[in-house]
Amino acid sequence: MHAEDPITPARAEQRLCERLQLHGEPAESLLRAMRAGNAGRQAVVLSPRALQGYEPPFACEVGTAFPWLPARVRIPAAGEIPTRHADYAAGLYYVLDLSSCWEGAALSALPQEPQRSLDMCAAPGGKSMLLAAQVALHDHTANEVNAARRGILRQNAELCGLPNTRITGLRPDQWGKSGELFDLILVDAPCSGQSLLCKGMKNPGCLGASMVQGNAKRQRGILLAAVRCVAPGGHLLYTTCTYDVEENERVMAYITRRVRGFKACEIPSLTPYRTWLADFPAYRLLPHHGAGAGGFCCLLRREN
């Protein structure tokens, strides 16, 4: 534990529930999922290399309880391992947690296809894959500042055949000063990653106030740079894989207060998940909802 945050794991869990205003059974459901570590749920996104009519070489769930699921996303049946098939190595599909697809479903609210798009924190490539599965990539930039992660991003983009895509490594502040404008910017922000606990992965300190506040500060900085690159009438999709309100609703509230001309958009397909922690449209998925480890999304529009 950090010296400024000397609390027990049990107290950290309790504090998270308090911040989320969860009590009784909803709070217990969240804590059970975090402790069990088995809420992760795989999904596969058909890549641009997968021709129309292609289906993965493994059993998938027939029908779905998830009406928000993008058309080119499949949910493997129980016991299937998508990564063991040759089609995976050939780049015909990309594997990620179902909750990431839930976040990507926010793109269904775009009124038109973006002509220029930027994935600002792109590695390893999941959000760019989801974008390519829902709209045509006309002029797409996948950016990753970390050189090692940028290499993985490049490999995935080439393997899956992302069209009209360039790979860059600029810092957010460099983008903010670049003068480039995009119709759509994806900010899958670095975060405390509390949902990793629900996948059974260790993430020491992710519930601590110092880690949460440090990430929130970083997220605000990234977004203040990103909004400068949104073209008039364009959109910015903010997503995280963490639960704390400080990194989600409060970051969005800060941006819409600080920057004129940005407004949160309704996402009709995600209406059942609208957050109770903000007075503007934003959406959160928790692990006990049954659609993966959880996440948060908010779609902003820049007025003309």
Active site residues: 241
Q: What is the residue-wise DSSP string for 76-97?
A: BPTT--GGGSHHHHTTSEEEEE
Gap between the Cα atoms of 20 and 161, Å rounded: 40
Backbone torsions φ then ψ of 192, nearest 5 degrees: -70, -15
Nearest CA among 31, 89, 99, 30 for reference residue 56: 89
- CA 151 to centroid of chain Cα atoms: 20
Q: How far is CA 260 from CA 122, 218, 222, 297, 304, in A?
A: 26, 20, 17, 20, 11
Could you tell me which residues come within 8 angstroms of residue 82 by beta carbon, excluding any fewer than 6 positions away? 42, 44, 56, 58, 76, 88, 93, 95
Q: What is the dihedral of CA 132, 75, 197, 120, to 10 degrees?
A: 0
- Residue 236's SS3 state is strand
Q: Could you give the angle at the alpha carbon of 284 between the alpha carbons of 169 and 262, nearest 5°?
A: 60
